[in-house]
Every structure is written in structure tokens, then in C-alpha cells.
Amino acid sequence: MKENHDAAKNRYNRFLLFVAGLGGLLYGVDVGIISGALPYLEATSGLNAGQLSFVVAAVLLGSVISTLFAGLLSDWMGRKKMMSLSGILFVISIPIIALAHGYRPLVIGRLLQGISAGLIGVVIPLYLAECLSASHRGKGTGIFQWLLTLGIVAAAVIGLYFSIRVDEIQKLGDATNLFAFKDTAWRGIFWISLPPGILFVAGSFLVAESPRWLFRRGKKDAARTALLRSRSNEQAEVELREMEETAAAEKARTSSGEKTKESLVRRKYVIPFVLACIILACNQATGVNSVIAYNATILIQAGLSDFWAHLGYVFFTMVNFLFTYIAVALVDRKGRKFLLSLGTAGVIVSMICVGLLFHKTESQRVDAKDAVQAMVSTNQTLTLAFNQSTAARLLPERSASAATPLSLVIIYSYGDFPAAVPPVRSEDATAKPIEISRDSCLPANNVIAFFKKPFANLAAARVAPLKINAALITPVPGRENGWLTAICLFSFMAFFAVGPGVCVWLALSELMPTRIRSNGMSIALVINQAVSTTIAAIFLPTVGKYGYSTMFFAFAGCTIVYFITATFFLPETKGKTLEEIEEHFEGAKKPE
């Protein structure tokens, strides 16, 4: 009988981790799915670079919004209900995006996906921290990240499938059919991501509520019942007794007048909170989300074909998946501090190498803005088919590179509002002509204009002439350069997965003291997502104006701050209870 009881509890524990892992899967799909869809969305949607950047960034902006309130909501509604809500929002977002015709529904759908991801990012690590023992906390939270990477792999495989189909149709030379299939492709990529969302919603209704949340709400019997689903009677009683002792100690401090001593500006709260915020901000400043989201585009610009770029992205996500598994195996043995130091050091070297590879090509750029400006029509629009003959006309006579494949990026503005067109390659016979108009650049109304550029004059921009700020023509590197870049990106992903990828979730849930854990996690994740949103929003315009090398060197510089923080300021939390970690920051024990 006891064996059957133990087997049932083990099955429930596995099911709990499976459901929490499905949340990580959805988070990974949110981050990774746009990379495979983006090239086809660029080709068929008619959106400009600024709009495409915002569609990519919208998921991160939604995360910022939901993360800000996730801690409060999870304290009010409970962890389980918030898990269900996050899954429902994801499920709703899919048809909105997949059926979209135009900019607004794409943004709305991506915002909903971001809101879902923000809730998942706070609630599931919080749920796992409160439901798992100290000896399994690292591995359990690591599984969340591992399945998150599986979501990114799944998104990449889906993108590769459609890339193969696009390549087959492209060989037929029918531009109309190719355009139609590309439109179908990006919609299909989103539809395929729907089933995991439905599974997560169903599973979230079947798991127990967090026993610690139930206890804090005065539901002791419900907390005992929740504990008994995953623990023996003895273990459940021990944990209930610990909850009662903690609650009694807090009540005694309050009633004895020690409430003022528990100010939130005490060392035990401020130092771990600041450390968590720095770590989470730097985690995004490595550029990981933008490298994932724009991976296929980066590899195409590095010299790979559309098919090989998508295949390279699949390898990239598989590296992430495999090295995250290695990190899960090591995190409770080697510790968080060691893995973070190792991982950030590797990220720095990898980003510098990628930056140098792009700098070699981008140093040969030629700015043909005057020639392009002369092509602007009297109604202040521009239509330009970029091919080898057009490139030869635009390049100065001194350039001898007109016979080689080239890429063109145009940065332009109407008044105070700048924009950039996606890179176009001269050898792509199926590419649509570049079309620039006010509609491709200006916000639809003053509200959107305020969030895009708060002090810009939208009325003046509506009558301002089209100004070509730069028309950068760059030689497209060969396949060898593309694969060198891919290898460096694989290295980046491996080091990120081993260190920051897994340890960031542990730092978030372990460093925060119990009293501020839910709200502290929300604030730290808001900073994390704000940095990621900013990077995603400026990525394409910055790359268009300054090149990929500038972005990758900036990522390397930010990761140096991360390395210093992890190596010299972060305590080791391996094998310690949450209470022991609090004592470290209180100063009760000497730093290790």
C-alpha cells in the first residue's frame, strides 16, 4: 500500500514539473517563434523596419507590463490561477496573430503573448521555489529553463520546415506563388504553436495550489492537502510546523514593536534585491533575446542562404537545449557562482569574435545616400528595385565591388521620425522593390507617436520631405564567413546556456528574502524585460545605421559588467536553504 502511495506521489511530482516545464516551453516559443517567421513577415506584410522591430519588441513590452503586476496578482489570486491565466492569454494570442492583416492586430497578438510570458516568468519560478525542497530547487528550476529551450528548438524546427518548402517553390521561379506561400508560412508557424498552450492550460487546472500561499491565506488544511500530494505525512507535518514557526516569529516581532527594524531598506533586503536586478538586467544586455529573434536574419547577412540560415538557427537552438541539460546536471554540484562566471566569460569572447567578423565586411560599406535621394519622387516617396544593375549605378565609380552580391540598407526620415528598411540583397531575384512612404514611417496617431518618440512633432512630420539619411551598400560575405559567424554564435549560446540561462532563474528566486520575494521578483523582471524591450526595439535601426559589429561589441561590453558582478559580488547559494541565504545577507555569517 505504501509503495502505491509513494508511486502516486512520484507521478504527481513528475506531472507538476511537466506542467511547469510546459510554461517554460511557452516562454521559449514566445521568444523564439518570431525568428523563423520574421523573414516571411518582412517579405509579405509591407511593414517597415521600425514596425517590424516593434512587432518583435511587443512581446517584450507585454512582458514588462504583466511582470510589473505579476507578484501582486499572484499574492492576491494564487499561483495556480495565474498559471492558468497566462496559458489562456497565450492561446488567445495565436489566432489574433495568425489571422492578422495589418500592423495593429500583429502588435495586439504579440502584446498578449508578452503578457503571458511575463506572468509565466514570475509565477512558475515562484511556484517551484515554494513547492520544491532545497536539494531539488536547482534541478527543478533548471527543468523550467530546459523546456524553455525546447520551445525555442521547436520554433526553429518549424521555421526550418517552412524554409525548405520556400526553397522548393523558389526554384520554380514563380514569384506570385512564392509570395503567397511566404504569407502562408509565417501564419502557419504561429498556428503550430497552439497545442502546447492548450496542454499547459489543461495541466494548470490539475496541479495543486502552492502550499505556502495557502498557509499565508489562513488555509492550513488546504496547505496540508497540497503538501500530501507530493510528500509523505511526516514531511508534510515538518513543513507545516516550519511555516507555523515562521509565521509565529513574524507575529511576535510585529507585536513586540520590532516592526521598524524590518524596514525594507535593511541590508538583508537591499543587497540581494540590487544584485538580482543587476543580474537580470545584464542577462538581457548580453543580447540573447535579440540574437535568438533575429538569428536567421543575422546568418543571412553573414553570408548564408535562406535555407542554411534557418538550418543554422536549428543548430543554434539545439546547442541551447543540449547545454541547458548539462547546466541542469551541474547546477547543484558546481554551484551557481561558478557557472555564471564561466558562462559570462565565454559570452564576452564569443560576442567579440562575432563583432570582428561583421566589422571586416562592414568596413567596406559605401554610402550612396545622395544617389538615392535623387531618386525620391515629387510626392516624397521612393520605390527602388535593388539588383546588380541598380547597385552598379548607385556605387561610386571608384568601387570595384558592383559585380559581387551586395546588400542595401536605407535609413530615412520624415521630420522627427527616422526609420530603416530591412536589408535587401542584390542577387535575390524574388525580392520586392523597396517602397518608402509616410505610412511606412509615421505613427498612426499622437498616442503611438508619444510612446515611439515623446518629443517629436507628428504634425510637422506629416508634411516634411523625405530625407535619405544613409543608403549603405555592403558586400555580402561568402558562405565560409557565414559559418564562422554561426560557430561563434553557437559558442555564445553554449556559454549562455551553461551559466546565465539556468542560473538567472535561481538568482531571481533564491536571492530574494521571503518577505519581498513575489514583488521583488516582479520588479527585477520588469528591469530585465525593459532592457530586452529596448534592445529589440533599437536592434534593426541601429544595425542599419552602424552595423551588426556595433551591436555585438556593445553586448560584449555589457557582459563584462555581468562577469564582474557574478565573480566578485554574488554569494554561492548551492545547497543552502532560503533562510540560510537570508542570514548571509543579514551579516550573520561571513561571506564565503
Q: Give 554's contacts (C-beta < 8 A, 6+ positions apart).
A: 287
pLDDT of 342 reads: 92
C-alpha cell belonging to residue 411? 535609413
In this structure, are strands 424-425 and 417-420 parallel, antiparallel, or unpaired?
Answer: unpaired
Condensed to tens digits (0 to 9), the pLDDT of residues 553-590 reads 999 999 999 999 888 887 776 656 555 666 666 664 44
Condensed to tens digits (0 to 9), the pLDDT of residues 409-438 reads 888 888 888 877 777 778 777 677 888 888
Q: Which amino acid is at 172?
A: L
Task: Please give the chain's pLDDT, 592 residues, in tens.
Answer: 556 666 777 788 778 778 877 887 887 776 667 767 777 887 787 776 667 767 877 877 787 788 778 878 888 888 889 989 999 999 999 999 989 888 889 889 989 988 998 888 788 877 877 776 655 666 666 777 777 777 777 777 777 788 788 778 877 877 788 888 888 888 888 888 888 889 889 988 888 888 878 887 888 888 888 877 777 787 778 778 777 776 776 666 555 554 444 544 556 667 777 887 888 888 888 988 788 777 877 888 788 877 788 788 778 878 988 898 888 777 777 777 888 899 999 999 999 999 999 988 888 888 888 889 989 998 899 998 888 788 878 876 645 454 677 888 888 888 888 877 777 778 777 677 888 888 778 876 776 676 566 677 888 988 999 999 888 888 878 888 889 999 999 999 999 988 888 777 776 666 766 566 666 667 777 777 678 767 866 776 677 678 888 999 999 999 999 999 888 887 776 656 555 666 666 664 444 4
How far is Cα 26 from Cα 127, in angstroms, rounded to an integer?
16
Determine how many CB atoms are found less than 10 A away from the CB of residue 514: 15
Task: Give helix 306-334 / helix 295-302 axis angle, nearest 10°.
Answer: 120
Query: Rounded to 5 degrees, what are φ and ψ at 164?
Result: -60, -45
Q: Give 412's contacts (C-beta < 8 A, 6+ positions apart).
A: 382, 418, 419, 420, 421, 436, 441, 466, 467, 468, 469
How far is Cα 290 from Cα 279, in angstroms, rounded to an integer?
18
In this structure, are strands 417-420 and 466-475 parallel, antiparallel, or unpaired?
Answer: unpaired
Condensed to tens digits (0 to 9), the pLDDT of residues 351-372 reads 999 999 998 888 888 888 888 9
